[in-house]
């Protein structure tokens, strides 16, 4: 029998799966503007709340617990390539770096989406976008599409990393993100 410890608090787990749902809806509802905008605002709100939780949340939710230095990230990736990465109770350095990359990409996706919406004469950034001129909207929309696509790429890498980590450590990391509990080595 293995020892399990509580790692992911309820906020982190609800945030994670809500973000998955909101991003999937946003991605597939591009042609249904009202739904796309609503899910985009949801993504923005979730990301902002996760950033706050990264400073005030439980131990393993805090950025101070998992944001790696460049050296820690490189050492972990080398160990991963050798098939012998060290086990971490919370996020490993690759997972920590991925969280930061995903949060940043999602934040830029949401902000550029809100700006694009403003260039269409809607939303909270109408005044700002109208002062930038007509050409700004198209450029901002390109930025929005870039970051949305980057997010999809990062999600794919994240899922691959979760699968690799689960196999290498013989633990179900997806289950851990549902239950909040991981095996303690």
pTM of the predicted structure, to 2 decimals: 0.92
Pair type for strands 181-183 and 4-6: antiparallel
Note the pLDDT tens digit of each residue in 97-108. 999 999 999 999
Tally of domains within the chain: 1
Assign residue 121 the CATH number of its domain: 1.20.950.20
Its domain, for residue 61, covers 4-183
Q: pLDDT value at position 2?
A: 61
b/e map of 99-112 (b: 16 or more CB within 10 Å)? Answer: bebbbebbbbbbbb
DSSP 29: T
pLDDT, position 154: 98
Q: Could you report the per-residue pLDDT of 108-154, keeping only the tens digit for each? A: 999 999 999 998 888 888 888 878 877 787 899 999 999 999 999 99
Model pLDDT, residue 4: 87
On the 0-12 / 13-18 / 19+ scale of CB atoms within 10 A, 136 is: middle
Neighbours of 117 (CB within 10 A): 24
40: enclosing H helix or E strand: helix 33-56
Neighbour tally for 77: CB within 10 Å: 15
């Amino acid at each position: 029998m293995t020892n399990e410890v509580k790692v992911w608090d309820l906020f982190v787990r609800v945030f994670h799966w809500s973000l998955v749902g909101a991003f999937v809806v946003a991605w597939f509802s591009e042609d249904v503007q009202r739904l796309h905008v609503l899910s985009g605002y949801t993504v923005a709100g979730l990301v902002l709340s996760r950033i706050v939780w990264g400073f005030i949340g439980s131990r393993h939710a805090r950025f101070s617990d998992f944001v790696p230095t460049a050296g820690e990230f490189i050492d972990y990736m080398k160990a991963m390539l050798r098939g012998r990465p060290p086990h971490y109770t919370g996020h490993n350095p690759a997972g920590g770096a991925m969280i930061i990359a995903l949060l940043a990409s999602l934040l830029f996706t949401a902000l550029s989406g809100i700006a694009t919406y403003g260039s269409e004469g809607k939303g909270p950034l109408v005044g700002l976008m109208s002062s930038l001129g007509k050409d700004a909207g198209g450029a901002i929309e390109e930025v929005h599409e870039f970051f949305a696509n980057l997010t999809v790429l990062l999600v794919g890498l994240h899922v691959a990393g979760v699968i690799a980590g689960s196999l290498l450590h013989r633990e179900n990391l997806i289950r851990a993100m549902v239950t909040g509990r991981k095996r303690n080595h």
